[in-house]
Structure 1
Amino acid sequence: MTGDTVNGIGNLFGDAPAEERQRQRELPPIDAAAVRMLFGDAEPPAAASTSVEPEQNPLFDDVRADLQAAEAYVAGTVSVDALFGAESRAAAAVVVEPPRSTPSAAPPERRGKTSRWLVIVSAVAAVTLVAGGVALAFVLAPPSTDEAVAALEDQERTVSGQVERLNAAIATLTTTRDAELATAQAFAQPLVAMTAASDEAARAGAENARLAYIAALEQIEVPATVPAHERAAVDTGVLSEVEAERKAAEQESAKLSKHARSVAAASAELAAAKTTFRAAIAAFVGTIPAYAQTLTTEASDTDEAIRAAVTQQADAVATTDAFADGGLATWDAYVAAVVALQADAERVAAEQAERSQYYYWSPSTSTTESTTTESTTTESATTEPSAEPTAETTDPTTSVTP
């Protein structure tokens, strides 16, 4: 700025005639406060501030000195010779030949204004370029190794949290699937026992649902747990190595997210199959009270206490959660009550059959006679031949006298 810029300013103003300089002194002075605000002597607005203040940056020292000199010249308080010396003025005249007056040149008044604004615009452009370069240097500057290490540690904490949550989800899925497989197997024998104590169509539907549930559980693939994240051998003093490790941690995080979504999908599949199986069992036990009523009605000649026990146990089956602890015990109690009812019904049938062996129905007399009495009467009616001769009976009326 102190070389070409000063020579340019001297060339612009060095050969101006005395009348022109006098006329420029009579022009209204430029607002010095506004010029200082533009060129850094005033406090810049907060929005345009950068991390480097002009007063603290030695790059602005030469610029500020030249701008103050230009301001003094424009204000008319100092001459070009005083500012730059005769040698600088001569050098400026050699470097740039000032334009001579021509008939088509602008009027003196307009040329003076143009010259002054050229100085201001040139100075503002110089300051803007310098400030912009400094700001751009700070924006494009790479982060320090400390900042890079901090970013790497943040990413590693994220990955560690993902691994912990994923392994917990995998453990829950494994435990749930194993438990549900055991539950489905536990319903096998009770459903078989219900064959003679329930509606067969409803029982068969529950059994089919159980088999389908087992097949669905066996198809669910449970992944293995994920090992904890470990940082590779990285020199934390080398920025490129730290950045490479951070990017590797980001890629691992993306893989863990995808893995977690697959585990969540498997858990949702298990939950849907579980809901279907439980609904089938609930529908089955809902038919038990009505079927028990049918059994007790058909066995109306059986013991009343036994029929009451069947009804009571059937209601317990319908109102008790079969999947709770001891829930299947109500099934066993109901089946036992039905077996007792069937045994009592067989007893009643046997007694009726036994009574039917001693009584018969005679269609001629419409009365029931004892078979024992009939046998006795038949035997008494049979006469055995007498050993003594039977005397002949003589009718006196038919006798003949010799």
Structure 2
Amino acid sequence: MEFSPRAAELTTLLESRITNFYTNFQVDEIGRVVSVGDGIARVYGLNEIQAGEMVEFASGVKGIALNLENENVGIVVFGSDTAIKEGDLVKRTGSIVDVPAGKAMLGRVVDALGVPIDGRGALSDHERRRVEVKAPGIIERKSVHEPMQTGLKAVDSLVPIGRGQRELIIGDRQTGKTAIAIDTILNQKQLNSRVTSESETLYCVYVAVGQKRSTVAQLVQILSEANAMEYSILVAATASDPAPLQFLAPYSGCAMGEYFRDNGMHALIIYDDLSKQAVAYRQMSLLLRRPPGREAFPGDVFYLHSLCGSPKLELAQYREVAAFAQFGSDLDAATQALLNRGARLTEVPKQPQYAPLPIEKQIIVIYAAVNGFCDRMPLEKISQYERTIPNSVKPELLQSLLSSDGLTNEIKMELDAFLKECALPYL
């Protein structure tokens, strides 16, 4: 007996097959390279592309669409453009440039796209975040109310940095700008060891822009030896990387740091340095035929909340008086005392590299200098006295300095007696 389907059944079967066929059918928008050179590709045919969208070339190299023009799209290539030729196909990815983020990034060294370059394999479980998102408004932000200790006496006492603010480190070459940043990361090791909850831990993101690969390797070694990589992420766009990657690196590092912020944790991000990013951005702008000048600098507020107004004032007076003192020898007692105190206040903030000092030890050392315990001491013995104090002080006295009550009369009396006894061998 032969089976002969009815016309209605046949129509239903054909309709379902056709419907399913189109649901699985995907059309990729494809463009072609019109011209390429100096890391910039002009592509024709990507009419629906979004600004900041990632594209992929036939050679596997990726790029970002920055210039959306009538005739073509200006695409910045993330990598070498030598494998890209005129006429090559370019495919939209449909996603805005994003990078991996999360705790899986801790201890890793990645490039500007978040790809690991430390030879330790692929990243474990992580999420992805866009590199360019709208920043929270001023009203939504909490005002600066908590310090971020660097472990450097000169910084924490005179120009303290608050959590939630930005700080610019300015200086000539080889003056120690990077050293300040590294010491700050190392200082978080001892602070993180004291916290009781994960939300109090401060994670660090270090973005190296335009530096030598050897310098980055040296930095990784320093942080690894101090066990600081366990709470740090290193984003590296070295001098040998193309300008687009050097331009992108700070945005990528920021996206990784914002993961901790958005999940109720603390994060410190260091850009070293942004002048290299500015040069890379200028190079890209010129090649894309954009105006190369800076667009704007955001308004910023530097909070100087220091319990240390006294040394600031005394150091300022010392500098002023010292300039005039070199012209005359007959100085009154008050001026001599000011010069004497200022010279000692200048000695106290000095400390060796990669040796950050906890805040309670900084307090006791600066207290000694400000309150005259070093005034009768020879200058060459100041550093010895300053090293002796933190090593011989009672742990209970150190802990009391961190209490919310501040320096009570009882603590001051105990502190004065201890400092006076410590100073005797050096007078």
Tell me if TM exceeds 0.5.
no
* Structure with higher strand content: 2
* Structure with higher helix content: 1
Task: Give the TM-score normalised by structure 2.
Answer: 0.20
Task: Give the TM-score normalised by structure 1.
Answer: 0.21
